[in-house]
Amino acid sequence: MTNEEGWKDVAFNSRDPVYLQVVRLFMEKLVTGRLAAGQVIPSRRELASLLKINPNTAQKAYKEMEERRLIVTEGNAPSRVTEDAGVLRGIRAALVEEAADEFIAAVRRIGMPADELIELVRRKYDERQGGGAHD
């Protein structure tokens, strides 16, 4: 049903709640297209085995994702990624915003004017786009 690729060898840190790291993993997979809207995801048990985490933690992660409407579980059917475009856009926005916050926190310490910074970001971004982007 679900291939094991992409679930193995995920590096978790041991100081953040594991269930939130799992939610985050799903969000990243969604925005990078490695999980598609409507796609069936592994069962809680399968995920616990694949990620080598406690089964109760996997359960908690799925509950959290259901509450955030990232995934849907109908009756006894396997859980699926949501097809709600609004939710998917929201995840994308949340992840980009988070990355921007981290970037700003890092460069603020150096103290560069915003205009110069934006110019730098634009130039670097274009370089990446042109020069054979990876990922």
Tell me whether residue 58 or residue 88 sits nearer to other proteins (CB atom).
Answer: 58
Tell me whether residue 6 or residue 55 sits nearer to other proteins (CB atom).
Answer: 55
**Sequence-ordered strand ranges (E) for 24-102:** 71-72, 80-81
8 binds other proteins (CB under 8 A): no
In the complex, minimum distance from the CB of residue 62 to other proteins, in angstroms, rounded to a whole number: 14
Give which of 85, 81, 78 is closest to 36, Cα–Cα. 81
Place of tokens 């916050």: 101
Tell me whether residue 65 or residue 88 sits nearer to other proteins (CB atom).
Answer: 65
Q: Within 13 A of 9's CA, how many CA atoms are on the CB side?
A: 2
Contact positions vs other proteins (CB under 8 A): 12, 14-20, 45, 48-49, 51-57, 60
